Amino acid sequence: MSSRPTPVELEALTHARRLALNGRGRVSPNPLVGAVVLRDGETVGEGWHEGPGEAHAEVMALADAGDRARGATVVCTLEPCSHFGRTPPCTDALRAAGVARVVIGCLDPLERTRGQGVSILRQSGVDVALAVGDDEAACREINAAFLTAAVRRRPHVMLKLATSLDGKIATADGESRWITGPDSRALVHRWRADVDAVVVGIGTALADDPQLTARNVDGPLRQPMRVVFDSHARLPLDSGLVRTAGEIPVTVFTTEAADKARIDALADRGVRVLRERGDRPHPLEAMRLLGAEGVQSVLVEGGAVLAAAFVGAGAVDLVNWFVAPILIGGADAPGALAGPGFGPLADVPRLQDVESERVGEDILVSGRLTAIPGVLGSEEGT
């Protein structure tokens, strides 16, 4: 058999990626994984990972296929695990089921385990084929958060902003709700449900008093941790965030300059307050701290000052930028990124893999500021 996937297997791999997405918002800190069992080119079993402690995708697909798995091909989006975690190794399940061939979308990112699933299967006489190029990249893309956390030891950070066509995030009077239409706002709620944490600056928390919860989202819903960058612990005790801190966690990154009484008052109401050194909490340090706790994905929702700080610190991986077909105008109306800016022009951050789509009447422009980590052990750090 070929060491590269056949066209039928690549079609199954695309389907396996779709299956993997069923676990969106629930699998962290595990990866999203989908698997398909193929027999004579027909799908006879499928599965996806539903979350920590639940069966892995390969095991679910094998169970779905039953006896038809013997001599069949299993197509999975990520290298099957070869170690005991909360569940036994998938390589054991694949061998026990007597599968003849395994097609793998991308390898395990961790240096200590990477390639082991492949070699154990090959040693057992199972034919293994690895996806390459766009097919492999697509499998890495669905796990951008898992891969970033594993390789860079911090969460994957998505920056979301919404501007008028002339690049304003609010009017000169500070009015900013709503710049985008309902479809864009619904998409943001979907993203909130997908990530482990949502971050805003204290400017936004004071101006908008947001809840930062995911609302009106189909399917099982897990609320993200809400995080505020707030050097002086100014977050009001009667804010929506503080009032709901008992039900959905709120973390405030502050500094040693913050008033102890204010910190205590927030803590008394169930807010976790983390004090950092320096004038302001540093985006990358804060992200590393959250990463060490198992937070793999973060959505930064602004505002302009914090967004610029994240971009400037190299702490943004993916940009999702809504442009609404309105003109706000006004020299005093804030633009989307405050601070001194990133010139000279030759050196400003430039998005890669840029895509655009219509979302209702708005246009969503997406692009990456960092590459999704591959499996290179040398990619440690950011």
Ligand X SMILES: NC(=O)c1ccc[n+]([C@@H]2O[C@H](COP(=O)([O-])OP(=O)(O)OC[C@H]3O[C@@H](n4cnc5c(N)ncnc54)[C@H](OP(=O)(O)O)[C@@H]3O)[C@@H](O)[C@H]2O)c1
Binding site for ligand X (CB under 6 A): 161-162, 169-170, 174, 176, 179, 200-204, 207-208, 229-232, 234, 280-283, 301-306, 309, 338
Q: Which of 89, 291 has the CB closer to ligand X?
A: 291
Q: Which of 19, 187 has the CB closer to ligand X?
A: 187
The residues, ordered by sequence, that sit 6+ positions from 113 with a Cβ below 8 Å of its Cβ are 81, 82, 83
Q: Tell me how far, at minimum, the Cβ of 226 lies from ligand X, in Å.
A: 13
Q: Which of 157, 152, 190, 182 is nearest to 302 (CA)?
A: 157
Task: Classify residue 21 as exposed, middle or buried by CB count within 10 Å of its CB (0-12, 13-18, 19+).
Answer: middle
Q: What is the DSSP string of 2-15?
A: -SS--HHHHHHHHH
Q: Tell me how far, at minimum, the Cβ of 102 lies from ligand X, in Å.
A: 44
Buried b (16+ CB within 10 A) or exposed e, 311-350: bbbebbbbbbbbbbebebeeeebbebbbeeeeeeeeeeee
Q: Is the dihedral of CA 200, 289, 189, 322 positive or negative?
A: positive
Q: Which two tokens stand for residue 214?
A: 């995911």
Q: What are phi and psi of 293, to 5 degrees?
A: -90, 0
Q: Tell me how far, at minimum, the Cβ of 224 lies from ligand X, in Å.
A: 16
Q: Which of 32, 162 has the CB closer to ligand X?
A: 162
* Distance between CA atoms of residues 31 and 117, nearest Å: 15
Helix (H) or strand (E) holding 167: none
Q: Which of 120, 233 has the CB closer to ligand X?
A: 233
Q: Which of 45, 15, 20, 16 is nearest to 30 (CA)?
A: 20
Catalytic residue among 9, 58, 136, 276: 58
* Distance between CA atoms of residues 207 and 37, nearest Å: 52
Q: Which of 8, 326 has the CB closer to ligand X?
A: 326
Given a contact cutoff of 8 angstroms between Cβ atoms, the answer to whether 100 and 126 are in contact is: yes
Q: Tell me how far, at minimum, the Cβ of 278 lies from ligand X, in Å.
A: 9
Q: Tell me how far, at minimum, the Cβ of 171 lies from ligand X, in Å.
A: 9
Q: Which of 75, 295 has the CB closer to ligand X?
A: 295
Q: Tell me how far, at minimum, the Cβ of 338 lies from ligand X, in Å.
A: 5
The residues, ordered by sequence, that sit 6+ positions from 129 with a Cβ below 8 Å of its Cβ are 1, 2, 3, 4, 5, 9, 101, 102, 103, 104
Q: Tell me how far, at minimum, the Cβ of 314 lies from ligand X, in Å.
A: 13
Given a contact cutoff of 8 angstroms between Cβ atoms, the answer to whether 148 and 290 are in contact is: no
Given a contact cutoff of 8 angstroms between Cβ atoms, the answer to whether 368 and 320 are in contact is: no
Q: What is the DSSP string of 179-204?
A: SS-HHHHHHHHHHHHHSSEEEEEHHH
**Measured between alpha carbons, how far is residue 136 from residues 13, 76, 77, 247 in Å?**
10, 11, 8, 39
Q: Which of 149, 161 has the CB closer to ligand X?
A: 161
111 tagged catalytic: no
Q: Tell me how far, at minimum, the Cβ of 187 lies from ligand X, in Å.
A: 13
Q: Which of 54, 183 has the CB closer to ligand X?
A: 183
DSSP classification of residue 252: E
Query: Annotated catalytic sites, by residue?
Result: 58
